[in-house]
Amino acid sequence: MRTNGLNGNALWDVTRATLVSQLPYASPAWWGYLKADERNRLQSIIVKAMRYAYLPRSFSTVDQLREDSDDKLFFSAKYNPNHVFHRLLPQPKSIEHNLHQRAHNLTLPMDVNAAMKQNLVYRMLFSDI
């Protein structure tokens, strides 16, 4: 693409549309099950793209991209009762007093196994605690 005169912002936009959009695809489903070395391999793709100037030096990490997609999905599932994931969320907790602002008003599960701790709902319920 560079040989055809594409550079700067245009090259970065093409890289975001083709390469970066595929990295966090469906990441809410599989991210919790990745090992550290697998996450590092995904991050190395971003680092190489920045090194060869396909992305700006200030580009986000793979973890930041994943957090953004998780937050968007959790927000839409929480506030849209017709969302397919809405039924997976725990029931709202009734609070009589308001001591400080909370990330959500959902009941936190107490009895969970190791596999459940890796899924999206559990990660998002405990992300801002």
- Predicted confidence at residue 40, as pLDDT, reads 94
- Predicted confidence at residue 31, as pLDDT, reads 82
Q: Is the pLDDT of residue 49 over 60?
A: yes
- Predicted confidence at residue 32, as pLDDT, reads 80
65 neighbors 23 (Cβ within 8 angstroms): yes
- Predicted confidence at residue 46, as pLDDT, reads 94
- Predicted confidence at residue 126, as pLDDT, reads 60
* Greater pLDDT, 123 or 37: 37
- Distance in angstroms (rounded) separating the CA atoms of residues 83 and 32: 22
Q: Name the β-bridge partners of 92.
A: 106
What residue ranges do the domains of the chain occupy? 2-125
Tens digit of each residue's pLDDT (9 = 90 or more) over 75-102? 887 788 898 777 777 766 666 666 655 5
